[in-house]
Amino acid sequence: MSATPFDQRDGWIWYDGKLVPWKDAQLHVLSHGLHYASSVFEGERAYGGVIFKSREHSERLKRSAEILDFEIPYTPEEIDAAKYLVLEKNGQTDAYVRPVAWRGSEMMGVAAQHNKIHLAIATWEWPSYFDPAEKMKGIRIDIADYRRPDPATAPSTAKAAGLYMICTISKHRAERKGYADALMLDWQGRVAECTGANIFFIRDGVIHTPLADCFLDGITRQTVIEIARRRGFEVAERRILPDELPTFNECFITGTAAEVTPVSEIGPHRYQPGNMTKVLMEDYEAAVQPKAKAA
């Protein structure tokens, strides 16, 4: 991955309806989105020039904004088209895609109903989230101190910037201890998710995953559940307590960046990436690749 800071890279970013040079895609320091977290975003990937489940991501971006009480002034179709325009302008086929929307700077205060809503889309080349050699043997995960909030206290179904504050803190703490990520419990002390990925466990041939009712039901999560069920694997979406962690045989996480990544350790608990995880990794890799057109 390039060491060049993100604000100093070359290329083009789609910003409020037009392409602008990368370094010119700026916002004011008094933007409401910066001070009050009135911002939503998506994380997507293009494989072979095709953005995986682009429409689902665009629709979720719109829903996230509505949950935060603002409306993005573009349709999902227009957002999809803008994403592909950026990819084409930047000459990329395999890339990470980041749409972000936020309230502007017309009013600085908690109330900002009349602030302009901005939308920007950037793309960049991004290799595997985890080192390939480490990924195949399973990553090590710590257990976070912070918990996912009660859905009565935060817009947990939105992909909102403010919800990631405790994720950044938790991931930093985990990395300083030599781990790749951290497992977060929910507000009632049940297993929830990692800092930027959903989590799955396997025991006796059954896949178990926490019920996504107070954290984001990831599009990759949904895809992997569909893949698993097509394979004939049983998937149980349910409450999982920390006491169950030592009873599972396999564990993996899912996300746009992480894709399907095996886990070998969560704190004191050990797992052995096995055949079911390997099959799901391979099936997901096949699913995201563009289907070849008939000659």
Q: Considering just the CA atoms, what is the radius of gyration of the chain in Å?
A: 19
The HSE-up count of residue 226 (CA atoms within 13 Å, CB side) is 8
Nearest alpha carbon to residue 138 among 7, 25, 250, 50: 250
Phi, psi of 234 (to 5 degrees): -80, 130
**pLDDT, mean of residues 276-287:** 94
Residue 159 annotated among the catalytic residues of the structure: yes
The letter for the amino acid at 96 is Y
Handedness of CA 149, 153, 159, 163 (dihedral sign): negative
Number of Cβ within a 10 Å radius of residue 287: 16
Q: What local confidence, expressed as pLDDT, does residue 2 receive?
A: 52
Nearest alpha carbon to residue 227 among 70, 41, 49, 53: 53
Extract the tokens encoding 55.
Answer: 């429409």
Q: pLDDT band at 132, cuts 50/70/90?
A: low
CA distances in angstroms from 167 to 21, 61, 69, 182, 213, listed in the order given? 31, 20, 23, 8, 17
**pLDDT, mean of residues 99-109:** 97
Q: pLDDT band at 272, cuts 50/70/90?
A: very high
Q: Which helix (H) or strand (E) holds 47?
A: strand 44-47
Q: pLDDT band at 100, cuts 50/70/90?
A: very high
Rounded mean pLDDT of the chain? 94
Q: Give pLDDT tens digits for 24-52.
A: 999 999 999 999 999 999 999 999 999 99
- Name 255's bridge partners: 259
Q: What local confidence, expressed as pLDDT, does residue 129 receive?
A: 57
Q: Which domains does the chain have, with CATH numbers?
A: 8-124 (3.30.470.10), 132-288 (3.20.10.10)
Strands 95-103 and 44-47: antiparallel
Whole-angstrom Cα distance, residue 168 to residue 171?
Answer: 5
Whole-angstrom Cα distance, residue 185 to residue 242?
Answer: 8
Contact between residue 107 and residue 115 where contact means Cβ atoms under 8 Å apart = yes
| Residue of 53, 83, 159, 171 with catalytic role | 159
On the question of pLDDT at 262 being above 50, the answer is yes
The HSE-up count of residue 81 (CA atoms within 13 Å, CB side) is 7
